[in-house]
Chains A and B, each alone.
Chain A
Amino acid sequence: MIELKNVTLTIDNREILKNVSLSINKGTSTVILGPSGAGKSTILKAILGLIEINSGEVLINGANIFSLKNDELLRIRRKIAMVFQANALFDSLNVEDNVAYFLAYNSKLTSKQIKDRVDEVLSFVNLEGTQDLFPDQLSGGMKKRLAIARALATDPEIILFDEPTTGLDPINSKAVLDLINRLKAAGTTSVIVTHILNDAISIGDVLTVINDGQIVASGSVKEMLQSKNKFVKDFFYEIFQDITLIQTT
C-alpha cells in the first residue's frame, strides 16, 4: 500500500533521511520509533509529498507521488489523512466547521449529510456537544481528539499520526491510544510516529526503529524485544528493565 524505496533527503547540507526503504501493508498499524531528530516526522511528510526528496521513490498504491501531476497528487492525498503533532486545527473555525472543512471541500455531500457525518465522528472520539466551541476553548486532549475526528471525517484509507500522545497526560494519552486501536480494529491502515515506547508497543503491529535518518530495524514487538542490534537494545532498555523487574518479582 505504502512503499518507500531508497529515499534520501538532504536539507542545508544535512542528511535527514539516508536511503530509507520501508513497506507498509494495508490494514496494518506501523509505528515509526526513534529519538527526537531521527527523521520520523520527515518520513510522514515524504509519504504525503509535502517535502521534495532528493532521490528514491514513495509509492502509494503503486503510484510514485513525486512523478504525479498536481491534480493526481491531490487525488491521492484525499485518500490519506494526517493528525499533526500540533493538531493544525483552524483556530478561526469552531469544532463543527473544523471537522466539516475538508469534507465540504472534497465531497459532494449535502449540508445535512455533512452535519450527520460530523456528529458521527465527534461521537466516535467522545466530543459530542462541543460543536460550537472553538479550538482555544478545548483542552490538549480534546484538541487531539478533534484532530483525529477531522482526519476520520473524510473516511481515509490511510491515517498518519505524528506524535499523537506527546504533551498529553496519561488519561488523555490512553484515550487517544484507545482511539487508534479502535481504528486498527476497523481495518484502517495507520502509520504512527512516536518516541514513546509504551505507546508503540500498545498500538503497533510492526515497529520500525529509525536513528540518524536510517532504518535500524523493523519487525513485530516480539522481534524488536529479541533484537541483537545495539541501538535497538539501548532504545528498548527501559522496557527490558521493566520485563526483568516483572520476572524477578
Chain B
Amino acid sequence: MKPQRFNSFKNFLLHVHDFSSLLVEIIKNLPTVRKNHKETLKEMYVIGTQALLLAMLGGLFSGVILAIESGHSVEQFGATMLISRTVSLGIIRELGPAVCGLLLASRTGAKNTSEIGAMQLSEQIDALKAYGINPVEKLVVPRVVAAVLMFMPLTLIADATGIIGGMFVTTSTFHVDLVYFWTTAIKVLKFKDLFVGTLKPIFFSFFIGALSCYFGLNTKGSTTNLGKNAISSVVISAVTVLILDFVFTKVIWEIM
C-alpha cells in the first residue's frame, strides 16, 4: 500500500473513531437538553420552522413528478386508477423522507457546520472549554435534539403536500375521480408504511445533526478549511441519508 493511501485510510479511521466518540458523548449528554432548553427551542425554530417552505416545496414537486411519470407509464395500459396508489405509497415510504432528508441535510448541514466552524476559528469553542462549559452539551446536543424533533413533522408535512400535488396532477391530467383518489391513497397505506415513513426522518436527523456538528468542531486553521468542511458536511450527510434509506428499505422488506 502506498504511504499516501495508507495515510488517507488512517485519517478515515481516525474520523470514524472521533465521530463515534462524539455520538457516545451526545447520547451521554442528552439529559442536559433541559438545562439548555432555550438554545434547543431557538434551534428548533431555525432548523424546523424556517425550513417549512422548503419541505413543502420538496414534497409538492416530488408528488407532482411522481404522478406525471407513473401516470404516463400506466396510461398506455389503461391503468390510471393505480396512480393514487403509487403516489401515496411512493411518497409516504420513500420520496417524502428521502427528498426531505436530502433538502434538510443540505440546509441544516451547511448551517451547523458553518456556525460551529466559525466559532471554532474565532476561539469561541476554546472559550467555552476554558470557562468550564462542555461544547457538546451547549452546542451539539441542542442542535441534534432540535433536528430529531423537527424533521419528523416536516417530513409528514412534505408527505401531505406531495400527495396533494399528486392529486392535482392525477385528477386534472389523467381525469381520475377525486374521491376515488383519496379513498385509494388512504386505503393502500398499512401500518408498516406509516411506521417506516415516520421512523426514517428520526434516524436521518440524528445523523445529519451529529455529522454537521462534527465537521464544525473539526474546523481548524483558515476560512478555506471552513468552506471545505461545510461541503464535506453536506455531501456526507446527503450520502448518509441515501445509505440509511437503503438499509431501512431493505431491512423493513425483510422483516415486515
Which residue numbers of A lie inside 8 Å of B, CB to CB? 45, 48, 50, 70, 74-75, 77-78, 80-82, 84-86, 88-91, 102, 105-106, 154
Contact = CB atoms under 8 A, between A and B. Distances in A.
B126 A45 contact: yes
Contacts of B123: 84-86, 88
A154 B130 CA distance: 12
Interface string B116-131: 0000001110110111
B225 to A, nearest CB: 15
Contacts of B134: 70, 74
Looking at B129, B130, B134, the one whose CB has the most chain A CB atoms below 10 A away is B130
Given A88-B122, A88-B124, A90-B124, A82 B133 contact: no
B131 A86 contact: no
A77 B126 contact: no
Nearest to B125: A88
Contact of A80 (B122, B124, B130, B133): B130
Interface of B: 122-124, 126-127, 129-134
A48 B131 CA distance: 9
A48 B129 contact: yes
A44 to B, nearest CB: 9
Contacts of A45: 126
Listed residue (B126, B127, B134) with the most chain A CB atoms within 10 angstroms of its CB? B127
A84 B119 CA distance: 13
A77 B134 CA distance: 11
If over half of A's interface residues share one DSSP class (helix, strand or loop), that class is named, otherwise mixed; here it is: mixed
A61 to B, nearest CB: 15
B26 to A, nearest CB: 15
A48 B124 contact: no
A106 B127 CA distance: 14
Contact of A154 (B122, B127, B129, B131): B131
A88 B124 CA distance: 5
Contacts of B132: 74-75, 77-78, 102, 106
B122 A77 contact: no
A78 B132 CA distance: 5
Contacts of B130: 48, 50, 77, 80-82
A106 B122 CA distance: 22
Contacts of A89: 124
Contacts of A91: 122
A89 B129 CA distance: 14
A244 B117 CA distance: 50
Contacts of B127: 82, 84, 88
A90 B116 CA distance: 12
A226 B38 CA distance: 57
A224 to B, nearest CB: 29
A78 B129 CA distance: 9
A89 B123 CA distance: 9
Contacts of A84: 123, 126-127
B28 to A, nearest CB: 10
Contact of B131 (A70, A77, A85): A77
